[in-house]
Every structure is written in C-alpha cells, then in structure tokens.
Amino acid sequence: MSKVLVLGYVWPEPNSSAAGRHMLSLLESFLTADWQVTFASPALQGEHKVDLRALGIVEQNIALNCSSFDEFIVKLQPDIVLFDRFMLEEQFGWRVAQHCPKALRILDTEDLHSLRQARHSALKQQRELSTSDLNSDLAKREVAAIFRCDLSLIISEYEYNLLQHHYQVPKTILLHCPFMLDLSLLHQAKPEFEQRQHFISIGNFRHEPNWDAVLWLKQSIWPLIRKQLPDAEMHVYGAYPPPKATQLHNKQQGFLVKGWAADAEQVMTQARVCLAPLRFGAGLKGKLVEAMLCGTPSVTTSIGSEGMGSAPANSNNSNIDLNWPGHLLEFTADKQASVAEYFAQQAIDLYLQPNYWQQCQHLGYRWLSSHFDQVPLGLKLLDSIKHIASNLDTHRANNFIGQMLQHHQFKSTQYMAQWIEAKNKK
C-alpha cells in the first residue's frame, strides 16, 4: 500500500468551489487504489469543509515556516506527496525533497494562477493579452514549481498546450487531468423545459473572476434581459458572499443574491438557463460542467469555455451550434458593451426556445461523456503515477531544469523559511 500525503492550500469544500470538488475526486482516486491518504493543511477549516475522516482520510494541521513539519513528514514517510497549487510547493517542496527524497512529488495546479492574473491585468487596461503578461514574475514562480515536481496535473487542455509550447515544459512531467465526474448522474430524471424557470449564476465569491462576472451581469447584462423578460429572475449563488455582493440584491429588479447553495445540483436543476459572463480567468469552470450535468444549457464567453475540449462527435443535428451546449460568445476587452448586448439576446433566445434548449441539453450530456468520465480519467491518473514511481531516478535525470531549480530553491526558500522561523521564536 502506498502512502499519499496531500498538502492542501485550503481544506476541501466540494459544495463551495470547483477546486474543492476536483480535489475530492483526486482523493477518491487514491482511495480507489487502496492507498493510505493523509490530508494536511496550514489553512483554517472553513464552515463548509468536507469531513475527510468519514472517507478514511487522516486529517493533519501543519504550520508554515516551522520545523514541526519536518518532524511530521519524517515520521509519516510518504511515498507520494501532492502539493495543492504551486504556493504549497514553494513552501514545503524543499522540506519534502530534503527529508523524503524518494517520494514522488506531484503538483495539482488547479489552474494557472499567472494566466488568470495576466488576463485580469489586461482586462483592467482594456487591451489584449501580451507575451510580457505571460512572462510575469508570478509565471516564473509557477512554472518553476512545475519543473521542480515529478508530475504536474493540468486541468485545462488550453493550459496543457500553453505550458508545452510557450514555456517549453516537457510533456513527460505534465498530465492533462480535467474534472473526473460520476456520469451515472446523467441518467437521473430531471425537470423538463416547461418545469424550469429563471436564470442562475453560481460561483465562490472569493474567486475574483466570479465576482467580476456577477458585477458585469448586474450592471450591463441583466437590465437588457429583464427589459424583454419582466417576469424572469436572476438567481445568484455562491459561497462567502461579501457585503458588496449582498448589496446587489434587488427584488424589484429580479436580481436575487442567494448566497451559498447547500445543494448546488438542486438549484441548478431548477433553473432554465445558466449564465457565466466571465471576462477573465483560467482553468476549467466548474459551474459550466455542473450545468451540463444538471441538463441546464448555458451562455458563456470564450473564457468560460476555454480548456473544455472540442465538441463531441456523432451529432447528426446541423441546426445546433456544436461549439457549445447553449451559446458561446467571443469576449474582447475593447468591445464590452456590444458583447453584453449580444450576450443578453442569446440568453433570451435560449430561454424562450424549447426545441433548441432541449438540443443543447443533450449536447451537454455528450460533452460530459466525451471529456469528463471519471473511470478512464482516474485509471489514467493512477497509471501515470505508478509508471513514474517505478522509473523515478531516470525520470528525474531527464529533467535537468527541474534539478537545477530544486538546487536553487534550497539556497533561497530554505534559508528564508529558516530565517522566518527563527524570527518568530524571538
């Protein structure tokens, strides 16, 4: 039995974010392999945290910049260590390499943080993304962490290609690992078009692209929809809504900020159309995958659909746009007003056309079956880990840049952490 240590940036909250659901699917894959799993995090436990102990996973609180972690990992002696996002690799990677040099080191990127930041900066300046944006200091840190690890899990097909072609990361240390879903849910009965009503938007408010999307929806898109559909409502769900979000609630305008959804699947299944007007971001968008799973067609931007793979084959309906199970709009920062107007009109059309709506629903089901089936994806993940583990020395020898960056990390991050620890003891 292999021992797996997962170092979490936060404690998993599968009902609050796509990142939490994806982490839980990774943990379940490890348990399926009959591996012993320990989840450790320096973060405070949130109110929506999943009970990992009920799944047979050991929970452990750890501290940043503290040698107590050294004692913990020496005692545990894991065979595999997974870092949840590159910041955790920066903080603990050198300690893992020092005390468990034979442990396979995996980075779960979730999304490329540097890409999200670069797009946000470009949006604020209302310009297109540039090469200098992609080569930011944050990108250098993030890509360095990818090189230092034996394997990095890349959730988005777009980012998988970007890392290889722009940053020249070897394919041998990357694995495209999208959402892994239980597709048996597709066969459950769901409300039909006539049984559904209103629009829905969902996403953790602590994730800045989600807040930006809600603000754009409220200010520019929803007034256009409401003008043509005066009885429709916009239901906005998301964990941890700040006061600035709850202040957008306006019953007279039909814009209802609902906050955290205890059962996201239930509220998504009741809605007729999901709206995700994302202007920046990275990775995969859990809200859109969940919409497909619930049979809810969606309207989104090119940012929202990015990395989701190509349209599934075997559609014999030429009347449906195979690019997306709903409507998809190309977003450009310099034409936001016209994009908002077109977005609103596409949302209205989808809301009023039952035949097209049903075609989009079934396309969504095919999309999930083509790209997000947990059975083959889980097997691919486990096979990749086992293959690298069985050839670890050769695998690392072929990644000289990773070895070089690991060497320099010892000389910088290690000494900085030790200095902080010594300072904290005074």
Residue 320 has pLDDT above 80, yes or no: no
Contact 299, 326 (CB under 8 A): yes
pLDDT in tens, 321-362: 567 999 998 887 767 778 899 999 999 999 999 999 999 999
Residue 281 has pLDDT above 50, yes or no: yes
At a CB cut-off of 8 Å and minimum separation 6, what does 77 contact? 3, 100
Residue 104 has pLDDT above 70, yes or no: yes
pLDDT in tens, 300-309: 999 999 999 8
- Average pLDDT on 120-128 reads 90
Q: Which two tokens stand for residue 49?
A: 């945290």
| pLDDT at residue 319, as a whole number | 47
Ranges of CATH 3.40.50.2000 domains, the chain: 3-180+373-425, 189-371
> What is the Cα–Cα distance from 249 to 397, expressed in whole angstroms?
57
What DSSP assignment string belongs to 90-136? Answer: HHHHHHHHHH-TTSEEEEE-SS-HHHHHHHHHHHHTT----HHHHT-
Residue 318 has pLDDT above 70, yes or no: no
pLDDT in tens, 366-391: 999 999 999 999 999 999 999 999 99
| pLDDT at residue 415, as a whole number | 60
**Global pTM?**
0.91
- Average pLDDT on 256-272 reads 93
| pLDDT at residue 15, as a whole number | 82
Percent of the chain with pLDDT over 90: 77
> What is the Cα–Cα distance from 146 to 84, expressed in whole angstroms?
12
pLDDT in tens, 138-150: 999 999 999 999 9
Q: If one looks up domain 189-371 in CATH, what number appears? A: 3.40.50.2000
At a CB cut-off of 8 Å and minimum separation 6, what does 358 contact? 193
Q: If one looks up domain 3-180+373-425 in CATH, what number appears? A: 3.40.50.2000
Residue 32: what are its φ and ψ, rounded to 5°?
Answer: -60, -35
Three-state DSSP at 382 gives helix
